[in-house]
Structure 1
């Protein structure tokens, strides 16, 4: 048991360090670029933290750090249900970027390093950590619906911010270019995808729990 605990601490710490590094690198690169364009510090910070990718990678880094420091279920971010919700969110970040957005951006140099870490390296590592180490007892179907609140409020925030600033972090949410009817359709499709992934993770959690108990 002690060996397993040590492994959890070590692995969660390593993935947390890698994720924090990617976030700090992206923060430096983005803020430098925003300020060079004459953006205010406040506007630059809002722009940076308005990306779902940044928010979700920040959640993974916080969750992994909480596990490395005090183990599972010792704080809000180390609860099994919270870690499972984060796994859902970061999975969608990874899939949407690599399926929908990868061809629209072409970063180079350190920008490429940060981009790959945040979209193609750290997310799968977190999901793998969830599969292998996160306790999954008492994760129920009803939990899937509560996990939808975060992406729902995020999308509402993006629409409100966009209506005030005409700035949207993702093209499929851009009401200026697409119009609100199409954006609402895109949001409805996104929420269906989120719900499907929530259900999938509950199913996987229950399946692993049954096999472990057998």
Structure 2
């Protein structure tokens, strides 16, 4: 019962955070995207938003029914936990304070970069599900961040918009951007490598 409530709260935090972010984007002025529809659509190009949607969606499914043994769900669950952890770490180490936020933007920022990463990671540590990870799941989990990077760099080259400063190939050059991507990939893999033995250890008492 506690686990389901935790997952439900996590999903609710994500829902509120994304909703507030979309409203804030729709009412923003200036920037590369002129229309509210374009600004709202652009929100879904951020790794933060997509990662929150994955962790929120998998949390909602666990709140409804905790027993979900499929490979697809296990992969998405791992993606959500890893991606939201990377989101929180990278934001607080490298991105916090770089952009001036509106009041609504600050609320969304706090929910999506701080609260949901804490809830997402603690939810996995406390309630799992555990005993579900293996090399196959880990390798499949890499598809999401890699596809996002490819999409972001291709879209950035076409539009001139990059969602994060460390991906701005026009100003940094592709060599520096590649290095930045490798560093983030190493962080992602390191976390995945830590989660596998930890997952087995946490599953033992059950």
| TM norm structure 1 | 0.87
* Alignment partners' CA distance in 2, 1:190 and 1:28: 30
Size of the alignment, in residue pairs?
206
More helix by share: 1
* Alignment partners' CA distance in 1, 2:131 and 2:108: 35
* Residue from 178, 181, 196 that aligns with 1:184: 178
Residue 124 (structure 2) pairs with residue 130 (structure 1): yes
Per-residue deviation at 1:141? 3.2
* Alignment partners' CA distance in 2, 1:10 and 1:74: 20
| TM norm structure 2 | 0.90
* Alignment partners' CA distance in 1, 2:81 and 2:42: 24
Greater relative contact order structure (CA < 8 Å, 6+ sep)? 2
Match of 1:7 in 2: 2
How well do the aligned residues superpose, as a CA RMSD in angstroms? Answer: 2.2
* Alignment partners' CA distance in 1, 2:61 and 2:67: 8
Asked whether the equivalents of residues 85 and 198 of structure 1 are also in contact (C-alpha less than 8 Å), the reply is: no
Match of 1:115 in 2: 109
Asked whether the equivalents of residues 56 and 90 of structure 1 are also in contact (C-alpha less than 8 Å), the reply is: yes
Residue 137 (structure 2) pairs with residue 143 (structure 1): yes
Unpaired runs of 5+ in structure 2?
A: none
Asked whether the equivalents of residues 9 and 71 of structure 1 are also in contact (C-alpha less than 8 Å), the reply is: yes
* Alignment partners' CA distance in 1, 2:20 and 2:134: 37
* Alignment partners' CA distance in 2, 1:168 and 1:65: 30
Residue 57 (structure 2) pairs with residue 72 (structure 1): no
Greater gyration radius? 1
* Alignment partners' CA distance in 2, 1:23 and 1:119: 11
Asked whether the equivalents of residues 80 and 134 of structure 1 are also in contact (C-alpha less than 8 Å), the reply is: no
* Alignment partners' CA distance in 2, 1:167 and 1:81: 29
Asked whether the equivalents of residues 52 and 84 of structure 2 are also in contact (C-alpha less than 8 Å), the reply is: yes
Residue 27 (structure 2) pairs with residue 32 (structure 1): yes
* Alignment partners' CA distance in 2, 1:115 and 1:129: 20
**Secondary structure of 1:104's match?**
coil
Asked whether the equivalents of residues 145 and 195 of structure 1 are also in contact (C-alpha less than 8 Å), the reply is: no
Asked whether the equivalents of residues 25 and 114 of structure 1 are also in contact (C-alpha less than 8 Å), the reply is: yes
Match of 1:173 in 2: 167
**Secondary structure of 1:143's match?**
helix
C-alpha distance after superposition, 1:182-212 (max 9, x if no partner) = 11121122211211111111121122123x1
Residue 84 (structure 2) pairs with residue 82 (structure 1): no
